Amino acid sequence: MKSILITGGAGFIGSEVVRQFVVNHPDYKIVNLDALTYAGNLENLKPVENAANYNFEKADITDAAAINAVFEKHGITDVIHLAAESHVDRSITDPLAFVHTNVIGTVTLLEAAKKYWKEDYNKHLFYHISTDEVYGTLGAEGFFTEETSYDPHSPYSASKASSDHFVRAYYDTYGIQVVVSNCSNNYGPYHFPEKLIPLSINNIINHKPLPVYGDGKYTRDWLYVIDHASAIDLIFHKGKVGDTYNIGGFNEWQNIDLVKLLCKQMDEKLGREAGDSEKLITFVKDRPGHDKRYAIDATKLNKELGWYPSVTFEEGLSATIDWYLSNTEWLNNVTSGNYAKYYEQQY
């Protein structure tokens, strides 16, 4: 029986992966390991917390003794590694926290895999979840492919790039079976409202200014988190060991156009006059080292594994807004306390 350690399973993407794996693979033991930082929230696991195959371990991925204990207790056979410090703005103010969790934490997990799987590395898989931000920035044309050289610009992307290199180094050096995927920006339910889409939804609800960096022309490729998790499931089961897969929906939006679409959909849903929410848009000072454009070429995943997103951006965004409007308690809980302090400092 597989016993899968999913790290960061109380966060935004990790909790979607856990919810899907627990339901779709009742024959797997799922062990969600999370340190419950500001970004981790056990309320995200409510739909599966009583499932027979679901387990939770509160632990820090940099704590080798705790990780070893979890490997032993649960007989971990595979790892899907999502735990990370994930917010670029926070990495600019506290880069060492990103080195600690994203680099040292990843190597600590790899060391546990090396120790406990050594009898036969071929029976186990270490699947590392990463970001398209490791590739740096694009001009008006072109896409990131799996062959694009790494060129990270923020402390966040530099730490993720480093962790990707360590994962591949453990494959080359020790023969640990690994796979890496690099995904574009995610959006969807349970997203912590420090990121553009949930922050804007929350502010529109509360008639607060909508901060947009610089000239608003930064371009990002957006993917519905439910589709990211389904790609992770497919790559986990069918991906070629040692390979990298880019995950994206060929869905590029300039920030300003995205915020305007969000305003339009929210005005309709909230019964506000057309154009009401757009008045809240406020351009704010640019982020240092801000990458102009990210765009993922997901052809390899499309062709080799037959994966495609299940929804259009308009559909996914609409479903996301509906989720936030019907989960106000979740939103109020995560936006109280420390988040309020962070927001004050940031904007």
- Residue by residue, DSSP assigns 232-260 as HHHHHHHPPTT-EEEE--S-EEEHHHHHH
Token pair for residue 194?
């420090």
Q: Is 132 annotated as catalytic?
A: yes
In the complex, the smallest distance separating the C-beta of residue 52 from ligand NAD, rounded to whole angstroms, is 23
**Of the residues 3, 20, 37, 254, which one makes contact with ligand NAD according to CB under 6 A:** 37
Question: Which one from 54, 121, 156, 294 is the annotated catalytic residue?
Answer: 156
Dist. CA 192–CA 266, nearest whole Å = 18
From residue 66 to residue 105, the character string flagging contacts with ligand NAD as x (rule: CB under 6 A) and all else as - is ----------------xxxxx--------------x---x
Q: Considering beta carbons, is residue 282 or 308 the nearer one to ligand NAD? A: 308
Dist. CA 62–CA 343, nearest whole Å = 28
- Helix-, strand-, coil-residue percentages of the chain, each rounded to 5: 50, 15, 35
From residue 144 to residue 173, the character string flagging contacts with ligand NAD as x (rule: CB under 6 A) and all else as - is ----------------x-------------
Closest residue to ligand NAD using C-beta atoms: 11
Instruction: Name the segment binding ligand NAD (CB under 6 A); options: 125-133, 234-242, 252-260, 294-302.
Output: 125-133
Q: Considering beta carbons, is residue 233 or 278 the nearer one to ligand NAD? A: 233
Q: Is 156 annotated as catalytic?
A: yes
For residue 211, give the DSSP letter.
E
Token pair for residue 254?
């300039």
**Of the residues 4, 6, 11, 307, which one makes contact with ligand NAD according to CB under 6 A:** 11
**Of the residues 36, 42, 205, 311, which one makes contact with ligand NAD according to CB under 6 A:** 36
HSE, side-chain direction, 13 A CA sphere, residue 184: 25
Assess 45 for contact with ligand NAD (CB under 6 A): no
What is the identity of the amino acid at 56?
Answer: F
Q: Considering beta carbons, is residue 63 or 278 the nearer one to ligand NAD? A: 63
First-to-final CA distance of the chain = 49
In order of 16, 129, 196, the CA distances from 319 in angstroms are 15, 25, 16
Instruction: Name the 3-class secondary structure at 228.
Output: helix
For residue 294, give the DSSP letter.
-
**Of the residues 18, 30, 183, 317, which one makes contact with ligand NAD according to CB under 6 A:** 183
E strand or H helix at 80: strand 78-81
For residue 148, give the DSSP letter.
S
Question: Which one from 57, 60, 85, 133 is the annotated catalytic residue?
Answer: 133
**Of the residues 4, 5, 21, 34, which one makes contact with ligand NAD according to CB under 6 A:** 34
Answer yes or no: are the C-beta atoms of 262 and 321 closer than 8 Å. yes
For residue 99, give the DSSP letter.
I
Question: Site for ligand NAD (CB under 6 A): how many residues?
Answer: 31
From residue 104 to residue 123, the character string flagging contacts with ligand NAD as x (rule: CB under 6 A) and all else as - is -x------------------
Q: Is 133 annotated as catalytic?
A: yes
Q: List, by residue number, the catalytic residues.
A: 132-133, 156
Residues near ligand NAD, by CB under 6 A: 7-8, 10-14, 34-37, 39-40, 60-62, 82-86, 101, 105, 129-131, 160, 183, 185-186, 192
